[in-house]
Structure 1
Amino acid sequence: MKKNKQRPAKFILIAALVILILPVLTGKTYLYKAVVYNFAGIDDYTIFDNHTIPATQPVPWRFSAGYGKAKIPDTLEQYLRTLKSIGLLVVQNRQIVVEKYWEGYSDSSLSNSFSVAKSISGLLTGAAIHEGKIGSVNDPVGKYLPEFAEGEKAKVKIVDLLTMSSGSDWNESYANPFSVTTELYYGSDVYKTATGVNIVKAPGTCHSYKSGDTQLLGLVVEKATGKSLSAYAAEKLWLPLGAEHDALWSTDKQGGHEKAYCCFNSNARDFARIGQLMLDSGKINGVPVIDSAYFHNSVTPCLIPDEDNKPCNYYGYQWWIIPDQQSIFYARGILGQYIICIPALDMVVVRLGKKRDEKINNVPIEVNKLIAWAQTLK
């Protein structure tokens, strides 16, 4: 009996040792961090290394005459609380109209925007094209990244990354700890992870959302400009936009590459400046940051067949589009981070939080609710 009692304990010990040693044997040591932190959160910049994007010449937003008078309906506020919202901001005609924060966050609090960073990386790609650092969207990725210079990878163009149609075998799984997406988030070598894909479909023929495509864009911008994404963002966005607070862009390691697809950390007011830039057709104070054609394609459906073999009517160049209201476009993060642009109202709506609702027709429910409410403010 004594021998039988010892056997389960021995098996448990062996299993524990295997779990501890397996990441080392497989080279996936990022799993230790993934297990410790379990799920991604809006304060994850505190567990990563970061590059700072300084706010060197702040230009505060003006407040509308009606600031503080427009109320968030009780039903909408309760709904937003249910989704663990931390911030809601409405800017119209370049003035703050509505502003509300929850859970101890404020107008200066940093939080992770997750895939909103994709839209920012898309803007930086356009900026590099505008100033001639990148030839055009039709440049092959291999012109900048040697890993894409031969074979099927040589067929991938920058436009294929912008429209999420690279044709790579990237596994966009957030729940699987062994997926490349988890490795990209918790790992320490985003260059190796992003360039290690294989091309399994003809580039430009199938839209399939892949964080790896945006990470490759970031690496291309770095190579083309000779600057880190943070330094380039400071030059092209944060300084000319008059951001009020420093932002942080999380990196894979100290002094490493930014996570271009994710992890741009800022606050609601400064995120709204990105939206205002897009309302102004990619210009800041009348000066183009991106070309007019690039702006147009950013907010126009790419119409590449998606995984359901339907024309993609909801995605452009790293920006999402409302299918039945195609004049409205937005940046979005996985936990419900949004920069919503409503050109007809000269309005930007920013929502930050910890949860996202279900999607209908590829649009999160709360996005439609926020748009419907915002349209009553006109």
Structure 2
Amino acid sequence: MKKVFKFIGLVALAAVIYYGFETYPKLDLISGFSAKSIASGHFIDNRSVALIEKTDNDIDLIDLAKNSIDDAQRFATSSVYGLKERKAIYREGLGATLVNDDYDATKPYLVPKRTTANHNLAFPYGDQEPEKYVFDNIDYTKLNAAVENAFDKKGEIKKRTRSLLVIYKDKIIAEKYDTGFTKNSKILGWSMTKSITATYFGILQKQRNFDINKPVPFASWQNDDRKKITTNDLLHMNSGLEWEEDYGKISDATRMLFQSEDMTKPQMEKNLVGKPNNTWNYSSGTTNLLSGILRNQFKTHQEYLDFWYSSLIDKIGMHSMIVEQDMSGNYIGSSYGWATTRDWSKFGLLYLHKGNWNGDQIFDESWAKYVSTPTNDSNGIYGGHFWLNAGGRYPDAPKDLYSANGFQGQMVYIIPSLDMVIVRMGLKEEGEFDFNGMLKGILGSIKK
């Protein structure tokens, strides 16, 4: 019997050692994710620590973190078993930033200048409530049933949809929020922010004749084949640069988001492992590199900060939106854009109308076609920082559908052939949530 207990003890010890060996290197990332999530959710959307832990941080390993908030000093701290404590600070106008021990939080900083003109127009072009309109060709019973089906029933935590908004011909025809969320709730779009970042190149192209087909002039790339990489290649995630996008382990993506001081550099420093324009590989590092390229277009940091809002976000009335920064003052264009569901829908409407916002042409019509055209080697699933249905990803939706997608199932669907935008925000990815079924139900309510 003693031998049995000894064996069990040795197995248990081995399991603990293995768990510790596997988990300890991740602690910095775990506490980093948690601190950033707590600070952003609390200070941007006024959520309680308990609610963030129960929802946003309800992820394997992330739920190991212990968190605290300092409301007076406006920061959050997180650690795992008392180890690897990380801190995220909140600054008005900039959002929350995950910082390291060397960061001087007392140093002065610049904030973007915002415009919040109160247009006396109904949504989407103004700040007034949307006009109520009933379409003869919409079966509202079917539509409402499809929307209701996208949410959990009382007591369930399977679908975890937070909000769903359906716009048809510029009119809201369906809108629903989960308990605790409203039209004023700011929700993290995660990688939907990538599509925001890419849009600035369409704006630059229109404003300044920026040529996306020219090689990127990085000095460090000039002595090897990276000198052939263009902004177009980067926008298509088709640069051929090495990158590992895996959030289940320590990878290029997790090191960048939770350890880098300057997130524009990790992708820049990678080797070429493929052929530009022929080696598609999804990379958050690429988007943050694009943010760095944007920064290089301006003489001052203030101009860079202001451009993101004055040329797009505030110009189309996304006044709730905030894009957060890294420690070096770069917008984290890959991942950290927050906005209300209605404001996310405005971004979709801008593309639905091919860059025209109530008479103001934000980017050329050709840009909408550019981002929604499949890139080489993507099998029809990806364009210019937008996901596509050209390859039939959603069999029950039109092939011209394209979308801004984010972690945990954040979606802005643009469907030109149906004059429709659909926004779904939530906590479940494709595979756990039936996005094709949701689209089928909503689109099936339109009478032919």
TM range (shorter): 0.7 to 0.9
Q: Is the 8 A contact 2:144 2:174 kept in 1?
A: yes
* 1:212 aligns to 2:280 (yes or no): no
Residues 229 and 133 of structure 1: CA distance in aligned 2, closer, same or farther (over 3 Å): farther
Q: 2:216 aligns with which of 118, 133, 141?
A: 141
Q: 2:423 aligns with which of 336, 347, 350?
A: 350
Q: Is the 8 A contact 1:133 1:224 kept in 2?
A: no
Paired position in structure 1 for 2:407: 334
Paired position in structure 2 for 1:241: 316
Residues 315 and 365 of structure 1: CA distance in aligned 2, closer, same or farther (over 3 Å): farther
| Other structure's SS at 1:63 match | coil
Residues 16 and 164 of structure 1: CA distance in aligned 2, closer, same or farther (over 3 Å): closer
Larger Rg: 2
Greater Cα shift, 346-355 or 323-332: 323-332
CA distance in 1, matches of 2:408, 2:131: 28
In structure 1, the gaps of 5 or more residues are 1-8, 23-30, 307-311, 359-363
Paired position in structure 1 for 2:204: 128
Per the TM alignment, residue 337 of structure 1 is displaced from its structure 2 partner at its CA by 0.2
Q: Is the 8 A contact 2:183 2:342 kept in 1?
A: yes
CA distance in 2, matches of 1:96, 1:196: 45
| Other structure's SS at 1:127 match | helix
* 1:153 aligns to 2:221 (yes or no): no
* 1:93 aligns to 2:169 (yes or no): yes
Q: Which amino acid aligns with 2:405?
A: R
Paired position in structure 2 for 1:250: 324
CA distance in 1, matches of 2:321, 2:305: 9
Residues 16 and 200 of structure 1: CA distance in aligned 2, closer, same or farther (over 3 Å): closer
Per the TM alignment, residue 233 of structure 1 is displaced from its structure 2 partner at its CA by 2.2
Paired position in structure 2 for 1:313: 380
Per the TM alignment, residue 365 of structure 1 is displaced from its structure 2 partner at its CA by 5.9
Residues 209 and 49 of structure 1: CA distance in aligned 2, closer, same or farther (over 3 Å): farther
Percent of residue pairs identical:
22
Q: Is the 8 A contact 2:264 2:290 kept in 1?
A: no
Q: 2:437 aligns with which of 369, 373, 376?
A: 369
Per the TM alignment, residue 356 of structure 1 is displaced from its structure 2 partner at its CA by 1.0
Q: Which amino acid aligns with 1:100?
A: K
Per the TM alignment, residue 16 of structure 1 is displaced from its structure 2 partner at its CA by 8.4
* 1:274 aligns to 2:347 (yes or no): yes
CA distance in 1, matches of 2:312, 2:241: 30
Paired position in structure 1 for 2:116: 56
Q: Is the 8 A contact 2:265 2:289 kept in 1?
A: no
Q: Is the 8 A contact 2:189 2:410 kept in 1?
A: yes
List aligned pairs for 1:4-153, cutoff 5 A. Answer: 33-37=28-32, 45-46=40-41, 47=88, 51=94, 54=114, 56-58=116-118, 59-60=126-127, 62-66=130-134, 71-73=144-146, 74-78=148-152, 82-132=158-208, 134=210, 136-142=211-217, 145-153=218-226
CA distance in 1, matches of 2:358, 2:293: 27
Greater Cα shift, 65-74 or 213-222: 65-74
Q: CA RMSD in A?
A: 3.3
Per the TM alignment, residue 301 of structure 1 is displaced from its structure 2 partner at its CA by 1.3
Paired position in structure 1 for 2:256: 184
Q: Is the 8 A contact 2:298 2:304 kept in 1?
A: no
In structure 2, the gaps of 5 or more residues are 1-12, 42-87, 96-111, 119-125, 393-397
Residues 95 and 129 of structure 1: CA distance in aligned 2, closer, same or farther (over 3 Å): same
Q: Is the 8 A contact 1:252 1:259 kept in 2?
A: yes
Query: Per-residue displacement from partner, 1:11-61 (whole Å, max 9, x unpaired)?
Result: x99x989x98x8xxxxxxxx6541225679976634465626746124225
In the superposition, the TM-score normalised over structure 2's length comes to 0.68
Q: Which amino acid aligns with 1:314?
A: I
CA distance in 1, matches of 2:412, 2:273: 33
Q: Is the 8 A contact 1:42 1:354 kept in 2?
A: no
Q: Is the 8 A contact 1:211 1:261 kept in 2?
A: yes
CA distance in 2, matches of 1:291, 1:76: 35
Greater Cα shift, 322-331 or 365-374: 365-374
Per the TM alignment, residue 352 of structure 1 is displaced from its structure 2 partner at its CA by 0.5
| Other structure's SS at 1:126 match | helix
Greater Cα shift, 154-163 or 31-40: 31-40
Per the TM alignment, residue 83 of structure 1 is displaced from its structure 2 partner at its CA by 2.3
Structure with bigger RCO (C-alpha 8 Å, 6+ apart): 1
Q: Which amino acid aligns with 1:35?
A: I
